[in-house]
Amino acid sequence: MKIAVIGGTHGNEPVGIEVMKHLKQNKPKGCLHDYECFLGNPRAYEEGKRFIDTDLNRTFGKNGERKGYEGDQSAALSKEIQGKFDFILDLHTTTSNMGLTLLLNNDHENTRNAAAYLKELMPEIKIIEGMRLGEECPYTNNMAQAGLTVEVGPVANNVLDSALILATNKMVTAILEWDFKSDIDLKEVEHFKSIGEYTFPKTGDWYVHPSLERADFVELHPSDPVFINMDEEVIGFEYEHSVYPYFVNEAAYLNDNLVMTMGIKRKGFN
């Protein structure tokens, strides 16, 4: 198996970059695969920014929009990775309280089995099936048929959190030392399926309510508090059923007016 390990797809998420740099110099003892390490967005990393011109992690697949510096970087990475690697591990962090999370953006057997295998090894891991799968997905993972986006948090942008660095390294090393043979499939593993995003009200100055802040993966029921303003007025959750929120108040999503991603719990896939 040829595996690409990508750190720094977002330049202000140095946890994954530390792991990627370490793996560049130190091959895991039990490594069973050929792997190569890539720094996703070198200029954004130098400047400590998520991106320079546009989000690199939205430039792949058929919906990917390539422009500016990240457009060039996306094309360069595709040239090196597309068609040459079987599996991608893309290492991210989030400012949200999500712990160790794996985001799945395709239904390839190796993707599903790798997530199930890591979850068996580290039960605290949460697995999220993304909203846009396969060609619909504009993430770096689209450069190979199979792969995982690793999201760990909470950590502020540009901060090196040692616990998250070690945990990320443990997950990546486990995959590199694994033979991809597994009887466990996600069919038997409970995970989250993203169903939509929730946005801030269009008018007024609203903040995420304290009871929702840091409550990623805690069931949110209709009319539970979601927003609060300076007058301590509260707006409840307007939705037809309960959801599991994640990426709650993620710093990078504020520009898009997003409060959280909503998921449901389920087994199976697609």
Contact pattern for Zn ion over residues 34 through 73, marking x by CB under 5 A: ----------------------------------------
Q: How far is the CB of 267 from Zn ion (least distance, A)?
A: 27
Of 10-18, 40-48, 97-105, 167-175, which segment contacts Zn ion by CB under 5 A? 10-18
Q: Which residue, 89 or 228, has its beta carbon nearer to Zn ion? A: 89
- Interface with Zn ion in residues 153-212 (CB under 5 A): none
Position closest to Zn ion via CB: 92
Of 75-83, 88-96, 123-131, 172-180, which segment contacts Zn ion by CB under 5 A? 88-96
Residue with tokens 């891991």: 125
Of 21-29, 89-97, 159-167, 230-238, which segment contacts Zn ion by CB under 5 A? 89-97
Residue 92 within binding range of Zn ion, rule CB under 5 A: yes
Residue count, binding to Zn ion (CB under 5 A): 3
Q: How far is the CB of 90 from Zn ion (least distance, A)?
A: 8
What residues line the site for Zn ion (CB under 5 A)?
10, 13, 92
